Each structure stands twice: as structure tokens, then as C-alpha cells.
Structure 1
Amino acid sequence: MIAEFKDAFKNNFYLSEEYAHFCERVTGLRLKVLSLKSTKLNILKNKNISIHAYPSEAREYMKREGVSFLSVLPLENDKSDKPSFVEYPILFRKEYQMAYKGFDRTFRKYSRRADKLGYKLRILRGYNNPMVDEIYALYLQHMRRVNGFIFPKYFFEEFMRLPSSLAFLIYHNKKLVAYSLCFENSDNLYSSIGGSHKDYLSKYVTYKIYNEKIKYACARNLNLHMGIGISGSGYNVFKQRVGAVCFKCERFPEENIEKVVYPITKYRWFGVLANIVSRIAPRKTIFMLMPFT
């Protein structure tokens, strides 16, 4: 497990210049890059924007300097003495046949059902304005449904202009019903922003898009980084059902704010407030939610 963990962070896209300058552009903030022995720190204002398995000396340095960060630890979160509030799931690289054996019965059953419903997969690389419009419309619908903060459209435009970006798109009768924006770098595939149409949640579209990403990663011998999530949430339990290992995270400052805010995100008034903040201060909203996957 330790060897696989180290391998998954050996060529970490979140430490790359490509990702760092993307974050610089979408926030409008000046990037500062620090090198601490063999560790690179990408900092905007007082925040390290790159999620990584930072060594202890780097974590202690950032604490002393008052730099906020999120570091992934080589510990299974649900087996640790004090599980972290957020965790980082990884499906380590393997052949699809082996990955399929790791799916739980429910995921296998619903994936088979999804395959019979006529969904079509398209993988998009590079910037395409009509496609970004289509993705963004579905993104807005999804984020309003879950009461989330909303990124501006230019975030998606900049995302799809990156050489390492790609989008998994699921269509039904020529209608976009699910999407997942990702980065592919070296030995890794990173899930970033994703969403689905509410009318297709009961038609197993989530199972379809996850299964397609897993097939893609397995065919190319890639680790699949599934994106940070809240421990015990439906999203992260879903990721565990496909065989992902959820790793403990260390966050500085500690996660007290997230623990307070998370329960109230289910209320409609929070979604209204998040929408207003997102429209008034789009760049500040992006920065506030960093580091993200």
C-alpha cells in the first residue's frame, strides 16, 4: 500500500507549472513558488494551492509561516485513530478485470443496467466553445440543486484550454446528461468537477460515468485520483464501492470551519447565499475553495 501511495504522488499534476499558472489565471493572484529541499510549494497569498503528500518538514514549515495547506497522509482514513473530516480517494492502477472484481455487488449490478440504457460516451480534449456552453449549463443546474458555490464560466474555459485537461461526457438521445472534467498527467488521471442531470440519477448515469473513467484509467495503466470529499458522505462511500482507498488528510488550519458549515449546506437559504457570493466575487470564490481537485 505504501509503495502504491508513493507511486500515485510521484508525478503529481497539482505540483506542475501548468496547474499553478491555471490557478493564477482564474484567481487573478500572483503566484509565489518556493522550493523546500525536494518539495515544491505553489502559494497564492497565504495558501498552498496544491494538494500533495507533503513530507513532515514541509508541513511544519508551512505551519510556521502561516501558509494554509491540505496534505494527504499514507493512512487509510477509516482505520486511523482520529479520521480526518475530508479524505482523498485513490483507485490504484490495475487491469480492468481486477478493478471490476473490486466493485461491490450494487455497483456491478447498476453498471450493467446503465450499459443497457443507450448511453453514449464522448471524450473531449481541447477548448470547444459550444461544448463548454453545454457543460456549463449542466454544471449550473447541478450546483443549484446541491446548494453549492458556483464558479464562473471562464473557469471552465481556462480548464479546457489546458494541455492536460479532458472531459468525459455522457449523452442520452443526443442530450448531455453527465460530465466529469479531469486532468491526465504521467501515470495519473485526476477527477475534478463533475455533475449529472437530475432526471437521470435514477437511471444509473453516475454508475455509467464512473465505470467509463475506470475503464479509461485501467486501459492506460493510470492511478485514478477521485477527488477530495467528506468522510462518510454519499459521494465518498460511492467511491469506496468501486474499490478506492480513502486516505487521511491533514489540513492547516484545522477543519473546524468545514465541520460547522457542512451541515447547513443542505438548507435552501445557504444555496441562495452561495449563489449571491459567487456572482458578486467570482475570483474570491475560486480562491476561497482552494485547494480543490
Structure 2
Amino acid sequence: MYTTSYYLEHYFHMPDFIIFLALAMVLMGIVFFVFYLYAKGTNKTDKKLEHEFYYLSERFYELIFSGGSIIGFMAAYYLINRFVTEGAFKTFWDDYKDYLLLVFMVISILVNSFLDHVVLRVKHLDEDAMASIRLTGMLYMIIIFAYIKFIYEDDNYDMFIAYFLTLMIGRFVYFDASFKDFLHCIKRAIANIPIMIMALTFLGIMCLYGYSTEYLLKHNGVITNIFFTHLFIIVAMFITHFVAYKIVQGKTCVKTKRTNRIEREDNRQRHSRRESHDRVERQERPRRQDEIEVMDL
């Protein structure tokens, strides 16, 4: 039986811990770079470019937060169900685990809200955007479970799917929502598919590296390892978020300053030409006046 100290020693062993985190940060940097290129290619003004970059980044954040919070409570449920095999807590767990799963669901929602309101504040997404990205998050989770069931060939997580679908549907469908609202949400969710593909690729590269180096322990269960990888992604997002935003703000600020400097130079040149013209005009005015007087004589 593996102990807590064993897992702590394994996962925080250097340099494996730093390498895994560095990989997450590099991949997050690539994500930011792709978002910047897209925003730059689709927006002509600096203000719109900056807003689009923030909008894309926060949609990615919310997708990871949504998926990670759900995977977190599933991982906790799975680990308790697997490793707690005896004692009073086992009896309590067997009697009330379905109710405790509901508690875990509520906790996951609170964790999601904490992540997108405190850890990395999502400021550029309206309610429709939040609903659509969480719907995309449901598809994100379905793909992960499809991988676990059909490719990884593990049936241990079938019991979670019904709970998961119920929770995720409840997070974007309201009691007064109409079918038209649902279709509108679906339409907006389709626009998030490229971001979902990026997130799945990100997750896949991290897991591939983790399993190939045995940093991710197979006996922990695939859902636990996926949750653990999400934690690294969230930490990488938090670290690189401020750097990426500063760089984008700096680029747009430099470009704006350059544009303003060019405009000031143009204004100065126009003003100089106007003054030169006025000076010539003042010099020519007496001469023309003399000519008029001579003609009158």
C-alpha cells in the first residue's frame, strides 16, 4: 500500500517536478502565441487586438477550469472508492456515497467559481460566452471519457458519466431557458471547438510525457493523472498569464505610442507648413497693396 509520503516524494521529486511544470508553461506560451497571431490577423486596431486576445485566453481558462473542477471531484470519488477498503469510514462511505457525490458536485462548482473569480479573474466573457464554453467543456469531458473507455479500455468510470452529464447540463441550461436559447448556446459553443482541440492537444502532450517518463503513476488511475495534469496546467496558466498580458499590452502600447508620435510629427509638419504659408502671405500682402495703389494712380 502506497503512503502519502511516497506520493509527495514522487511528485515533488526534482528535477521531474520542474520539468513537468516547465513543459506546461512552454505549451501555455504556445497557446498564447497562437491567440496573439489570430487576434492580430483579425483585428486592425490595437484596442480590438488586445480585447480579442483577452477574450480567447479567458475562454481557454474557463474550459480548463470547468473540465478540471469536474475531473477533480471524480478523481476524489474514485480514489476514496478504490483505496478506502475497511473501517468506519468505509461503512459510512458505502451508505452515503451517492449523497456525498452530490456534495462533491457542489464543491466542484464552488471551486470553478473560485478559479475564474479569484485565481484568474475572467473579465471579458459575458453570460452567453460562459454558458457556451461550459457546453464545450461538456464535449471536452465526453471526449476524455471516450478515450478512457474505448482507447484506454477502462470501464471503471462508467458510473460517473450519468452524474457528469447531469451536472454539466445543469450548468448551462436554466429553468426558464427556451429551445431557441439552447440552439443559440449550441451555435456559440461550436465556435469554441478550436479552443477545445488546443486544450485536448495540450492535455495529451502533457499526459504522453508524464506516462513515458513514469512521472504519472499508472496505478493511480487515469482519471487521477488527468486531474493532476490539469493542476499543472492551471499553475502554468497562472504564472504565464501575467507575463503574456504584459507583453501584449507592451506591444500594443509601443505601437500606439509610435502611431501617436507619427501623428504628432505630421501635425507638426502641417503646422510648420501653415506657418510658412502665413509668413509668406504676410510678406506678400504689403507688396500687393502697393501694386493696387499704383494701379489706382
TM norm structure 1: 0.24
Which structure has the greater CA radius of gyration? 2
Higher strand share: 1
